[in-house]
Amino acid sequence: MAKTIMIQGAGSNVGKSMIVAGLARALTHRGLSVAPFKPQNMSNNAAVTVDGGEIGRAQALQARAAGRDPVVDMNPVLLKPETDIGAQVVVQGKRLTTCKARDYARLKPRLMPRVLESFHRLAGTADVVLVEGAGSPAEINLRAGDIANMGFAEAAQVPVVLVGDIDRGGVIAQLVGTHAILPPEDRDRIVAFAINKFRGDASLFDDGLAEIATRTGWASLGVLPWFAEAWRLPAEDVMDIASTKGGPIKIAVPRLGRIANFDDLDPLASEPNVSLEIIEPGRPLPGDAALVLIPGSKSTIGDLQDFRAQGWDVDLAAHVRRGGHVLGVCGGYQMLGREIADPDGIEGHPGTHPGLGLLDVATQMHPRKTLSYTEATYLPTGAPVTGYEIHIGSTQGPDCARAWLEVDGRSVGAARPDQRVRGCYLHGLFASDDFRQQFLAELGAPASGYAHDASVEAALDSLAAHIEANMDVDALIAGAAEIRG
């Protein structure tokens, strides 16, 4: 019978996702079959699953750590923010509805049966299910109808390990405060705690561990030092996207307000010959960039309007006049065209919106979402490309005659006659080493020999060793409970 334990955090971004990924790889190395599970995630950085749906990218990385293909049951509820007050609700891989936060609070209790269904189905395929919470269980104002933290732990009878982030300071207050504020029945579900992101001599915190254990009655699983190789793993949170200084080839990426599926940037950020510069709102696009990459967006029309409000459209036009290169991926591709038609008002008010006019194509929005793994060929060189599509809308126009990718015998993508402005719907293409090296060579970068997938695998192995060396994994597994359906 499968066993399970849940990793919750004393706050957001304490490192839950990475700990679950490291545990998944560590337990897999021990010969166990492991499945990751997150009842509810909120992210616009989604992954396409082998069963034709979408889940949070962190769960896809955890599946990779466990040597599994990602499936929709690993993240049955995914919230994809579209505005400051509303989000698309994806349930078991498919869009259910779009609703405001207040309406979602009423919807959540009806989603619990679907969450439990996915959890128990996944449990039938593994020895251990590692569950990841969301945010913090101390947000007791959200406890009613909760499906992400203690609400799920109660419904599925899953014990909890609480993780605190010492790098932010105040970790004793985080953990002891959580103990103080939780109702007794939730407090009693926590069987142990751990400290993450410690810098320096961890023995200096021995008294702190003892104080937390005394005040809470929870067992300590140890202190995880700062994991220096974390940058080699794909980021899920938009706040984790950062500029990286590397080689002479500068790639500028405007930070869109609803940036989505930005894993296109991870392989570029790791390239030794590339400096990736994230352009924050209020800053102009740099004049010395070799390439401006416009990433995907969860709200293409809204981000296009913001792009203009920043003056980036003027900067981009000047960049092209200087002979610079531009690549638009998915929503960025749609923005580069003449216009975006949204007759059904999928992204707001119905109407047609002018694009940036750098590609002679036009996009029509429609409700059907394209979700697929894709194997393609880079037409200029024949290099293989692997990626995925996740978008609404279709794009047509004269510049599509200069497609630069081929999928199943079809030419896809679009380019200007001089090939300096290109667009496509394929995400994740830069993870393909041969294509990435050839694309960067066109910008003047020498071959680096960097292998992206091998780097990610090595980082996961290092993370597993890091957790085995610093966390009491035996005690964690001993505290796991058998899953009873």
Annotated catalytic residues are 330, 427
> CB-based contacts of 194: which residues, under 8 Å, 6+ apart?
19, 161, 162, 163, 164, 220, 221, 222, 223, 224, 471
Does residue 240 contact residue 216 with C-beta atoms inside 8 Å?
A: no
CA atoms within 13 A on the CB side of 10: 27
342 membership: H or E segment, kind and range = strand 339-342
Element (H, E) at 104: helix 101-123
Q: How many helices (H) and strands (E) does the chain have?
A: 14, 27
Distance CA 83, CA 100 (A): 9
Cβ atoms of 72 and 55 closer than 8 Å: yes
Here the tokens at position 453 are 């997938």
Give backbone dihedrals phi and psi of 21, rounded to 5 degrees, phi first: -60, -45
Q: Is 216 within 8 Å of 179 (Cβ atoms)?
A: yes
Residue 477 to residue 171: CA distance in whole angstroms:
24
Contact 45, 78 (CB under 8 A): no
Question: Rounded to whole angstroms, how far apart are CA atoms 93 and 53?
Answer: 4
Q: Which amino acid is at 435?
A: F
Strands 362-378 and 383-396: antiparallel
3-state secondary structure of 322: coil
Taking alpha carbons only, the member of 79, 452, 459, 19 closest to residue 264 is 452
Classify 362 as helix, strand or coil.
Answer: strand
- Taking every pair of Cα atoms in the chain, the longest distance, rounded to a whole number of angstroms, is 70
| Residues 6+ positions from 319 with CB-CB distance below 8 Å | 285, 287, 289, 292, 326
Contacts of 4 (CB under 8 A, 6+ apart): 123, 128, 129, 130, 131, 156, 158, 480, 481, 482, 483
Taking the alpha carbons of 430, 435, 437, 438 in that order, is the dihedral positive or negative?
Answer: negative
